[in-house]
Amino acid sequence: MNTTLFRKSAPMLALLGLGLSACQPDLEKDFKPSSGTADFSNYIAVGNSLTAGYSDGGLYLDGQQQSYPALLAEQFATAGGGEFVQPLFGAGQENGSGYIRLVNIVNGAPVTANVTDKLALRAGSAPGKPLYTKYTDKINNLGVPGIRLSDIETPGYGSVQGNPFFERITPDAQAGQTYLARVAASNPTFFTNWLGNNDVLGYATAGGAANSLTPLADFTSKNSKLIDALTANGAKGVVVTIPDVTTIPFFTTVGPSFRTTLEGLKVPGLVIQTGSAPGGPTTANRKQITTADIKAVDGTGRQLFTLISSPFLGLLNTKTGRPWRYVYGQSGQPAAGFPLFLAAYGIDTTAAFGVSAGNPIPSLFVLDDVEQAAVKKATTDFNAAITAKAASKELAVFDANAFFSKVATNGLVVNGINNTAGFVSGNLFSLDGVHPTPRGYAVVANEIIKVINSAYQAKVPAVNPSDYRGVKFP
């Protein structure tokens, strides 16, 4: 069942602070929404998890209903917009893929738990290979969590062996369909396109995993094909740039808190693995750093440690400060084949973990200075490709990179409330440290509305971000 939510419009909010008299203009009546030179009758949203409404580490009904495309569609409806259909999870399955929730705050640190009931799983699902309840009606929100721009021409991307979120919205008779073909068949009159984040993010969150940055030529070619498909029938739209992923809480939370812990225990430094290799036949990729290096390893203020909750963080005995021990594998038992792996790469799990060359902190948990430079260059190059193609088609651009960089530095004041890029308390980012909260999505919607109104002489009313929640506290 769909629920229609009514929220204050920007014109109505403007009236709240005025003492109106008979001689004053009626601002609400004076503001007449219009589409300008745009046509919102068939709005199609193209993108990844950010477009789908992913939040708190999962895709679930509450996030879907408050995705930025859903918020845009509500505002477009005032200016001639048509029906906007999303592949919503149904009653009894509203928790979708599952997600994480905040259950407590202990000594200033958030405690979370996995939500595992009311999931949208169907027969045949297996651990690590979910099959979500099918939704094969015509939809307007084509956001697919996990998709990269490099994936859009992959045949069978939505098959059981592929992306389960695309498989969910792909009819069985079209199992071999590519994402690009799906977009081309959508025939939009207006669109938003926010693809490309994962072409950088996957590399960064894996500590610079080898060969996981999309080559620029591939990115440029597929971005061009995607925009050509969207504009084939003359549709106008907005393309969105890729934010610098190293400014989001996933990358900025662990470093400062971990450094404080080390300083309290008087730990002078660490040994980390650099580069993308998991180990190495020699110690060449093992680097001694000081505790101070954790804050700004490349001098730009970026954090060295990439993960919000890394396994090694729980291994330090904060009461005694005793040396760490680290056993590769799960539940304290080495994984099959690991003894040979450890021997080949010269890793000694009997040595003190993280403070000795024999047992360094794995590269998986570290985004070193070289990797951070690679992230920055890829982001810059990809955004240049995005904006150049948009310019060739005279499309509007929302520069999310510039916007979120300002938010990370200065915060964002909305209706007297300061919102920041801080983890949990900042209001804008959810518990996974990557995806926005409903308030964050409302902020994104407003920024897109601004560029639509400017580029297409439209009058689309803004949403009120204060009507939407940040992180939900217990």
- Do 121 and 234 lie in one domain? The reply is yes
Helix, coil or strand: residue 254: helix
- Do 155 and 285 lie in one domain? The reply is no
Q: Residue 269: which H helix or E strand, with range?
A: strand 269-273
- In this structure, is residue 13 part of a structural domain? no
- In this structure, is residue 461 part of a structural domain? yes
- In this structure, is residue 10 part of a structural domain? no
Distances (CA, A) of 91 to 3, 123, 424: 12, 18, 28
| pLDDT for position 339 | 57
- Do 334 and 381 lie in one domain? The reply is no
- In this structure, is residue 4 part of a structural domain? no
- Do 72 and 196 lie in one domain? The reply is yes
- Do 330 and 226 lie in one domain? The reply is no
CATH number of the domain bearing residue 227: 3.40.50.1110
| pLDDT for position 302 | 47
| pLDDT for position 283 | 57
Q: How far apart are CA 175 and CA 359, in angstroms?
A: 46
- In this structure, is residue 11 part of a structural domain? no
- In this structure, is residue 473 part of a structural domain? no
- Do 352 and 385 lie in one domain? The reply is no
Please identify, among 315, 335, 365, the residue that sits at the C-terminal boundary of a domain: 365
- Residue 314 belongs to domain spanning: 254-302+307-365
Render each residue's pLDDT in the chain as its tens digit; 474 residues.
332 222 223 332 232 233 333 444 454 556 799 999 999 999 999 999 999 999 999 999 999 999 999 999 999 999 999 999 999 999 999 999 999 999 998 877 788 899 999 999 999 999 889 999 999 999 999 999 999 999 999 999 998 668 999 999 999 999 999 999 999 999 999 999 999 999 999 888 877 877 789 999 999 999 999 999 999 999 999 999 999 988 888 887 777 777 777 777 787 888 887 776 554 445 567 888 777 777 543 344 444 555 433 434 444 433 333 333 433 333 344 444 555 556 666 777 677 777 778 777 777 777 877 888 889 999 999 999 999 999 999 999 999 999 999 999 899 998 888 999 988 989 999 999 899 999 999 999 999 999 999 999 999 999 999 999 999 998
Which positions ≥6 away from 245 have C-beta within 8 Å?
A: 197, 200, 201, 204, 205, 251, 375, 379, 434
- In this structure, is residue 106 part of a structural domain? yes
Q: How far apart are CA 281 and CA 420, in angstroms?
A: 43
- Do 43 and 165 lie in one domain? The reply is yes
- Do 189 and 292 lie in one domain? The reply is no
Which positions ≥6 away from 135 have C-beta within 8 Å?
A: 87, 88, 168, 169
- Do 450 and 395 lie in one domain? The reply is yes
Please identify, among 345, 365, 385, the residue that sits at the C-terminal boundary of a domain: 365
| pLDDT for position 29 | 59
- Do 402 and 435 lie in one domain? The reply is yes
- In this structure, is residue 221 part of a structural domain? yes
- Do 153 and 209 lie in one domain? The reply is yes
- Do 199 and 241 lie in one domain? The reply is yes
| pLDDT for position 7 | 29
Q: Which two tokens stand for residue 182?
A: 């799906």
Q: Which two tokens stand for residue 293?
A: 């290096």
DSSP 26-80: -HHHH---B-TT---TTEEEEESHHHHT-BTTB--HHHHHTSHHHHHHHHHGGGT
Of the candidates 420, 448, 409, 336, the residue with the CA atom closest to the CA atom of residue 71? 448
Of the candidates 254, 207, 200, the residue with the CA atom closest to the CA atom of residue 386? 200
What's at 224, amino acid-wise? S
Of the candidates 443, 463, 446, the residue with the CA atom closest to the CA atom of residue 454? 446
* Reported pTM: 0.85
Q: Which two tokens stand for residue 473?
A: 């506290």
- Number of domains composing the chain: 2
